[in-house]
A and B are shown apart, each in its own frame.
Chain A
Amino acid sequence: MNIVCCIKQVPDTATVIKIDPEEKHIQREGITYIVSPYDEFAVEEALQIKEKLGDTTVTVVTMGPERAKEALRQCFAMGADEGYHLVDDAFDDSDTYATATTLAAAIKKIDFDLIICGKHAVDGDTSQVGAQVAELLDIPQVSMIMKEEINDDKKTAVVNRQLEGGEEVLEVQLPSLWTCQKGLNEPRYPTLKGIMGTKKKPITDFTVSDLGLSPEEVGLLGSKTDVSKMYPPPPRLPGRIVEGEPEEAVKELAKLLREEAKVI
């Protein structure tokens, strides 16, 4: 089997986000980057499938600036076999439509039976790219998987996905695209051997022209939407500590919730 994982490099979740003076992007200085946590679930699941089925290649694909190579190497250290880096200034300011267009063009050049993505990337938080890639490749998608089992014929799989109030069990044809929810697995830590091996694993760069796309189809030009402004979230007004002995404090709190906040 050939499994392609789409992974994205994002700011560490502990990062304090500051907005740049242009109010269009976040400030890049001082940020440490990680592989988006949900994408680690994707790589982990691909590796577990490989361990189970044997004879499987796990390919990681990312679109991003030069530094995103580091994210591919982190996936190599976990055990992924090869990487593709979609890197070109023309890709800047892509929305999900343009991102999916670029990723799908790259994936078409790679033989695949299964694509695994994260549920969402923890920067834009859109949850859109996976489904849009699936649409462009004309394959079915299953969002927010919690469990999967590829059937012996390797043409179908049984997958659980999370829904409000429970899980839905589905049978899906392969090739298909799945997005991962937390709870699916526990991503492994890279081993020393894994880290040592990363240098030997191949990374292929793709630019716009390598993908056979025109500059109008990618980046901001190829996007349907544009972030016109970025700003800090509205501040929460300073709250109040309800003082007093437990009995009194609780009475006061209940009263405030009913009469001031009007939430109960």
Chain B
Amino acid sequence: MAEGILIYAEQREGKLRKAAFESLSEASRLAEKTGGGVSALLIGKDVDGLAPQLGPYGAGKVFVAQADHLEKYTTEGHTAVFADLIKQIDPSIVLIGGSTQGRDLAPRVAMRTGGGLAADCIDLEISDGNKMVCRRPAYAGKAHCEVVFRDGVSPQMATLRPNVFLVVEPDASKTAEVEQFQVNITPDQIRVKPIEMQVKGGERVDLTEAEIIVSGGRGMKGPENFAMLEELADVLGGNCAVGASRAAVDAGWREQRFQVGQTGKVVTPNLYIACGISGAIQHLAGMGSSKVIVAVNKDPDANIFKVADYGITEDLFKIVPLLKEELKKLLSE
């Protein structure tokens, strides 16, 4: 009988990612209902040192798979280890953070192990003992659905949308048992060779991981005016990113990787400040589940006001600089 919950402890360059803690926190919550233990899988080279960080967040056991050829993430390397572990410990539930890496890895592992996989979940629940019910948006958030696993399917797997699941308070008294897990895949079986990482705009967090996003649209009038949003973001601190609508990206004012929306990034920050964005359905698809939305738009009929928690109908060129000063004052108090 399949039992217990396994999470994927994503790390990059020797640092555990937020995705790992979100998955682990959610696993601990689910385990209160399912019973069985919570374990974590950590893959890389010389990553032993990270294992103790997982205990306080609820991992009873950490499987560590280490090899030179696992230093950099590859789909094939991680799939092989992950699938081997699932076959060995037979968990009933597997949770993976829905980061770029998690979304690349999870479907491949699900296919190899015969598991079912629900993508980009925003809520999980247990019914009938250990059946997982997954809630997730579809049609770019225009509909939500419940995904269940068909009878006898194991493991029940889900990727979790970043920034949605709360990280529990660590309990320093809890420690995890650490077990080395054998790596069977050989270097020649990995048909992809990572060459280099091209870090871009390194100092700000990625949109999908940001807690606050200041975003600009066609109303920004030109690329130079985004400096205003950058300054506002600076005031708001390290977890703030600057986004854009497709109109701003298509005009060449911002790079594509900053686009929010149906054909850009789907984001769930605590605070989304939309400046000069009309709120087209495709834009709302990307940011409509932000916890709090602020809109600055001089057109009182703009669609963005239908989803905004707070709106100001004024010229953004007046409002944004004032807001920056006001927040600076407030945050320094």
Contact B142 A16 (CB under 8 A): yes
Contact B198 A122 (CB under 8 A): no
Query: A171-B193, A251-B326 known; A125 and B76 CB under 8 Å?
Result: no
A135 to B308, CA, bound (A): 42
Which residues of B have CB within 8 Å of A96? 107, 117, 119
Contact A132 B150 (CB under 8 A): no
Which residues of A have CB within 8 Å of B209? 164
A236 to B304, CA, bound (A): 12
Judge whether A9 is part of the interface by a CB distance below 8 angstroms.
no
Question: Contacting A127 at CB < 8 Å: which of B107, B116, B289?
Answer: B107
A153 to B4, CA, bound (A): 48
Question: Contacting B257 at CB < 8 Å: which of A17, A162, A223?
Answer: A162
Judge whether B100 is part of the interface by a CB distance below 8 angstroms.
yes
Contact B308 A239 (CB under 8 A): yes
- For residues 117 through 136 of chain A, which have their beta carbon under 8 Å from a beta carbon of chain B? 122-132, 134-136
Query: A166-B199, A253-B312 known; A38 and B191 CB under 8 Å?
Result: no
Interface string of B129-161 (1 = CB under 8 A from A): 000010001111111111111100100000000
Question: Contacting A240 at CB < 8 Å: which of B196, B310, B319?
Answer: B310
Contact A258 B148 (CB under 8 A): no
Nearest-neighbour CB distance to chain A for B272, whole angstroms, equals 10
Question: Contacting A258 at CB < 8 Å: which of B294, B311, B330?
Answer: B330
Question: Contacting B191 at CB < 8 Å: which of A122, A130, A173, A253?
Answer: A173
Judge whether B29 is part of the interface by a CB distance below 8 angstroms.
no
Interface string of B231-243 (1 = CB under 8 A from A): 0000010000000
Judge whether A152 is part of the interface by a CB distance below 8 angstroms.
no
Judge whether B87 is part of the interface by a CB distance below 8 angstroms.
no
Contact B311 A242 (CB under 8 A): yes
Query: A26-B139, A166-B199 known; A249 and B314 CB under 8 Å?
Result: yes
Contact A225 B270 (CB under 8 A): no
Query: A128-B107, A132-B107, A264-B331 known; A223 and B150 CB under 8 Å?
Result: yes
Contact A239 B309 (CB under 8 A): yes
Contact B142 A169 (CB under 8 A): no
Which residues of A have CB within 8 Å of B330? 254, 258, 264
Which of A108-116, A189-197, A226-234 binds B?
A226-234
Residue of B nearest to A14 (CB): B281
Judge whether A54 is part of the interface by a CB distance below 8 angstroms.
no
Judge whether B22 is part of the interface by a CB distance below 8 angstroms.
no
Contact B314 A246 (CB under 8 A): yes
Contact A160 B198 (CB under 8 A): yes
Judge whether B175 is part of the interface by a CB distance below 8 angstroms.
no
Judge whether B229 is part of the interface by a CB distance below 8 angstroms.
no
Residue of B nearest to A175 (CB): B191
Residue of A nearest to B195 (CB): A169
Judge whether A53 is part of the interface by a CB distance below 8 angstroms.
no
Contact B323 A231 (CB under 8 A): no
Question: Contacting B192 at CB < 8 Å: which of A14, A127, A140, A162?
Answer: A140
Question: Contacting B326 at CB < 8 Å: which of A176, A228, A254?
Answer: A254
Question: Contacting A38 at CB < 8 Å: which of B111, B263, B292?
Answer: B263
Which residues of A have CB within 8 Å of B307? 236, 239
Interface string of A147-172 (1 = CB under 8 A from B): 00000000000101011111111111
Judge whether A50 is part of the interface by a CB distance below 8 angstroms.
no
Judge whether B14 is part of the interface by a CB distance below 8 angstroms.
no
Judge whether B15 is part of the interface by a CB distance below 8 angstroms.
no
Query: A96-B107, A264-B212 known; A232 and B312 CB under 8 Å?
Result: no
Which residues of B have CB within 8 Å of A167? 197-198, 200
Which residues of B have CB within 8 Å of A256? 310
Interface string of B111-123 (1 = CB under 8 A from A): 1101111111000
Contact B212 A17 (CB under 8 A): no
Nearest-neighbour CB distance to chain A for B309, whole angstroms, equals 4
Which residues of A have CB within 8 Å of B285? 13
Residue of B nearest to A37 (CB): B263
Contact B103 A14 (CB under 8 A): no
Contact B199 A165 (CB under 8 A): yes
Which residues of A have CB within 8 Å of B291? 263
Cβ contacts A to B, 27 pairs, < 8 Å: A13-B285, A17-B139, A19-B143, A126-B119, A128-B110, A132-B107, A135-B112, A140-B191, A141-B104, A143-B75, A158-B195, A164-B208, A171-B192, A171-B193, A224-B115, A226-B147, A230-B138, A230-B146, A231-B146, A233-B137, A233-B143, A236-B293, A239-B305, A239-B308, A241-B312, A261-B310, A263-B270
| Pairs of residues from A and B, 8 with the lowest C-beta to C-beta distance, nearest first | A224-B116, A183-B256, A164-B206, A128-B107, A17-B142, A131-B107, A126-B119, A135-B111
User: Which residues of A are at the interface with B, using a C-beta cutoff of 8 A?
Assistant: 11, 13-17, 19, 26, 37-38, 95-97, 100, 122-132, 134-136, 139-144, 158, 160, 162-173, 176, 182-183, 223-234, 236-237, 239-242, 246-247, 249-251, 253-254, 256-258, 261, 263-264
What would 14 more interface pairs be, CB under 8 Å, given A16-B142, A17-B139, A239-B309? A13-B282, A122-B263, A125-B138, A129-B107, A135-B112, A170-B195, A224-B116, A225-B150, A226-B150, A228-B146, A234-B144, A241-B313, A253-B310, A254-B323
